[in-house]
Amino acid sequence: MRSPQAIEADGLTKRYGDATAVDGVDLSIPPGTVYGFLGPNGAGKTTTIRMLATLLRPTAGTARIAGQPVTDRAAVAPHVGYLPESPPLFDELTAREQLQYHAGLQDLPGDEAADRIERLLDRFDLAADADDRIGTYSKGMQQKTALVQALLHDPDVVLLDEPTSGLDPRAARTVRDLLAELAAGETTVFLSTHILPVVDELADVVGVLSDGRLVAEGDPDALKGRAEGGGTLEDVFLDVTGDADLAAARPEEP
Kindly state whether residue 106 falls inside one of the protein's structural domains: no
pLDDT of 113 higher than 80: yes
Determine the Cα–Cα distance for residues 230 and 234; give it in Å rounded to an integer. 12
CA 27, distance to chain mean position in Å, is 15
The residue ranking higher by pLDDT, 200 or 254, is: 200
| pLDDT at residue 245, as a whole number | 37
Domain-embedded: residue 114 = no
Looking at residue 61, its pLDDT comes to 97
Task: Find the domain containing 244 and state its range.
Answer: 7-88+157-249
At residue 115, the pLDDT reads 95
Res 72: pLDDT? 96
Instruction: Give a yes or no: residue 37 inside a domain.
Output: yes
Q: What CATH number is attached to the domain comprising 53?
A: 3.40.50.300
Whether the per-residue pLDDT at 27 is higher than 90: the answer is yes
The span from the first CA to the last CA of the chain, in angstroms, equals 51
Nearest to 65 by CA among 4, 147, 21: 4
Task: Please report whether residue 243 resides in a domain.
Answer: yes
Q: Is the pLDDT of residue 82 over 60?
A: yes
* Cβ-contact 149, 143 below 8 angstroms: no
On whether residue 152 sits in a domain, the answer given is no
Q: How many CA atoms lie within 13 A of 92 on its CB side?
A: 0
Q: What is the pLDDT of residues 193-252, one digit of tens each?
A: 988 989 999 999 999 999 999 999 999 988 888 765 568 888 888 888 875 433 333 333
The 3-state DSSP class for residue 3 equals: coil
For residues 120-124, give the mean pLDDT: 93
User: Does residue 149 lie within any of the structural domains?
Assistant: no
Q: Count how many domains the chain has.
A: 1
